[in-house]
Structure 1
Amino acid sequence: MKIEDKREHEIRLVSEMIELYYRSHEGDPERLIEYAKKRILVCPFMEQKTFCSACQVHCYQKEMREEIRKVMRYSGPRLIFRHPLLVFKHGYISMKENWKKKKVKKRGNV
């Protein structure tokens, strides 16, 4: 998958999760969506990473990181009912990336 496609997918997924969260909670989703987009667009690890939470570098400011964690905790289980294909695609991409990493590690240890 191309990095641009991966970034686009990540932005769409995060935006959907944020919008879902703010339908049930007070606040402005646009602020967090814009912040997340900026972070995703400049992420130097996009090619290798699967999830931001698994990343070595936390590029979100502490306050925003806490806010996005709340969003993920709330929206993650609910998103599968709203956008099952988007969730499936995200899971597939993540598993595929993990398989690649395991193959590389195996080759390095042999």
Structure 2
Amino acid sequence: NESWGRYWGWDPKETWALISIMAYAFVIHMRLVPGLRGRFAYNLASVIAIAFIIFTYFGVNFYLSGLHSYQSGQKIDSLKSISVAVGLLILIAVLAYRKYKQYYKK
């Protein structure tokens, strides 16, 4: 409170940092839930969590505005970029699951 004058302000950088921490907390705690202990689920959740980290950097710095935004680059076309990224993530997940079922699942 003394340095910024507030405790929490819902700034995009603060919010996405919290989302990233919660995503990795979920990944770590997946090992404690019996239904989520599988290798594939853990690896997929890790890839999704790193996508949150990437969005925390690029999305907040180049698209969202706030106290901690450093918009030194050109703004990105957000809907197109996010759609392509989510589509690639889903495609990779489906292909990885097919290979996982083919080689590892008995």
TM-score, normalization by structure 1: 0.36
Larger-Rg structure: 2
Structure of greater relative contact order (alpha carbons < 8 Å, 6+ residues apart): 1
As a proportion of its length, which structure holds more helix? 1
Task: Give the TM-score taking structure 2 as reference length.
Answer: 0.37
